[in-house]
Amino acid sequence: MISSKDFGKEFLWGVATAAAQIEGAAESYGRGPSIWDTFSQRSGKIKKGHRPTLACDFYHRFKEDIALVKLLGFKVFRFSISWSRLLPNGRGQVNPEGIAFYHQVIDECLLQGLMPYVTLYHWDLPEKLSKEGGWTAFSINADFNEFVLLCAKTYGDKVKNWIVLNEPLGFTSLGYMLGIHAPGQTGLSNFLSSVLHVAIAQADGGRILRAEVASAHIGTTFSCSEIIPYTQQEADLIAARRMDCLMNRLFIEPTLGMGFPDADWDVLEKFIIGRSTWRYQERMTFDFDFIGLQNYFPMVVKFNSFVPIIQAWEVKARYRKKPYTSMGWEINADSFYHILKQFAAYPGIKEIMITEGGAAFADQFENEKINDQQRIAYFQDYLSALLRAKNEGLPITGYLAWTLMDNFEWAEGYQAKFGLVHNDFKTQKRTVKESGYWWKRFLSQA
């Protein structure tokens, strides 16, 4: 059985959260609406019509929740800053109540002996900017830079660990191509425009932080999935390469100065490169101190000519009789190990942090306890795979569990349960799950 001491004294353990998913107070204290406030009002977009208006009420309960992070033995608290809480219109007028709130959160972390890791953008674009095109409009880059500069100047004396973007593929593909997430746009053109502007923003944000924050430790995060061809037939192998370009390579390679992976996916050559994006290659490049990886499932894919553009189809875990979470995501710790190896193989990767890791299961109360043994087993398996990679020399420096408590899980609403702590959304009562106590025991062994 592994223990936290196997990872070394300097290894960082923490939990991750996001503003739109936990804060609440969405219509109070000077905050402007975000795309998720608007999107959740559209019928059928969020399961059971749930909205993030109150969420976990972290805005009023942050001291209690930060104390829970400390109680469970973690050293890092990752949270994000709501763009529309600081700049209600996305630019221009600053909201002093929003500024003060994050000072209080940061100060409470430091008082509790926790290291704040601040994410600048975790999917909650101000609605005002979305009406002007959002991430599909080139003007978004100037607006984002204004937001980053404000955060750096305001909190940079206290916060040294920064994450520019959370999962750029997630919010561009789900929000601007498939329409499943806010702002609910669809189409290849919207998607590819957003990809270009987000790739620029990722590097611009890093440069601003480098210039404004002394001794800053700067990263950005990528969702990632090992892509496994269903067969070794050429059509499936080619489909897997295209899917790898989309799922894993689309944002990391421009950051590393390699440009978009158009050689293995001709759509990028025709549509993105055709927009003269070579002019932006230098601007899309930034030497991050670390990259964050967030792996929730592998993808087994086969060729399917009926699927537009990508011509690949995922063969779900349940059809292959593999274990999976309540989200239908395959549980596969070996695949987690493989994707770590894939990203570590890039030249120029200095440090890797697992900035999110976790699983959703249908938790049930048993004698006043939530005995979530599936989640405990998940963490044991995945941390064993992580240790294997670390012992092989991969520069892995930390692991942040997703997430502290059950929250607003985007299009899943309040249905998907990822938390180490149960939250009763009617009473806002927090109950530590058995997985939370498992983490406390695990971390006490260091």
| pLDDT tens, position by position, 124-144 | 999 999 999 999 999 999 999
Mean pLDDT score, 262-286: 78
Angle between helix 434-444 and 373-391 (nearest 10): 30
Q: What angle do CA 119, 120, 124 make, to 5 degrees?
A: 105
What is residue 173's predicted lDDT score, i.e. its pLDDT? 98
What gap in Å lies between CA 66 and CA 105, rounded to an integer? 8
Report which of 337, 319, 336 is spatially closest to residue 328, judged by C-alpha positions. Answer: 319
Residue 410 corresponds to which tokens in the numbers above? 């985007």
What gap in Å lies between CA 170 and CA 181, rounded to an integer? 9
Average pLDDT of the chain, as a whole number: 96
Residue 446 has pLDDT above 90, yes or no: no
Q: Which stretch of 31-35, 45-49, 261-265, 373-377 has the lowest confidence by average pLDDT?
A: 261-265
What gap in Å lies between CA 396 and CA 349, rounded to an integer? 10
What is residue 276's predicted lDDT score, i.e. its pLDDT? 59
What is residue 170's predicted lDDT score, i.e. its pLDDT? 98
Residue 48 corresponds to which tokens in the numbers above? 């059971």
Q: Which residues contact 267 (CB under 8 A, 6 or more apart)?
A: 188, 309
What gap in Å lies between CA 179 and CA 440, rounded to an integer? 39
In the set 108, 127, 167, 314, the catalytic residue is: 167
Residue 312 has pLDDT above 90, yes or no: yes
53-93 pLDDT, tens digit each: 999 999 999 999 999 999 999 999 999 999 999 999 999 99
Cis? peptide before 298, omega within 30° of 0: no
In the set 23, 314, 330, 356, the catalytic residue is: 356
What is residue 266's predicted lDDT score, i.e. its pLDDT? 80
pTM over 0.95? The answer is yes
Residue 356 designated active-site:
yes
What gap in Å lies between CA 58 and CA 66, rounded to an integer? 10
Residue 167 designated active-site:
yes
State the pLDDT confidence band at 263, using cuts at 50, 70 and 90.
confident
State the pLDDT confidence band at 161, using cuts at 50, 70 and 90.
very high
Report which of 193, 205, 33 is spatially closest to residue 129, judged by C-alpha positions. Answer: 33
Task: Give me the half-sphere count of Cα atoms (radius 13 Å) on the Cβ side of residue 337.
Answer: 16
386-444 pLDDT, tens digit each: 999 999 999 999 999 999 999 999 999 999 999 999 999 999 999 999 999 999 999 99
Residue 279 has pLDDT above 90, yes or no: no
Cα Rg of the chain, angstroms: 21
Task: Give me the half-sphere count of Cα atoms (radius 13 Å) on the Cβ side of residue 397.
Answer: 14
What is residue 278's predicted lDDT score, i.e. its pLDDT? 67
Query: What does the chain come to in residues?
Result: 446
Domains and CATH numbers, the chain: 4-444 (3.20.20.80)
What gap in Å lies between CA 415 and CA 406, rounded to an integer? 9
State the pLDDT confidence band at 445, using cuts at 50, 70 and 90.
confident
What is residue 386's predicted lDDT score, i.e. its pLDDT? 99
What is residue 267's predicted lDDT score, i.e. its pLDDT? 82
Mean pLDDT score, 231-252: 97
Residue 273 has pLDDT above 70, yes or no: no
Residue 269 has pLDDT above 80, yes or no: no
Strand partners, 218: 162
Mean pLDDT score, 175-181: 98
Residue 25 has pLDDT above 70, yes or no: yes
Q: Are 298 and 332 in contact (CB under 8 A)?
A: yes
Q: Are 201 and 140 in contact (CB under 8 A)?
A: yes
What gap in Å lies between CA 232 and CA 200, rounded to an integer? 36
The set of long-range contacts for 277-280, using a CB threshold of 8 Å and a minimum separation of 24, is 277/196, 280/196, 280/199, 280/200
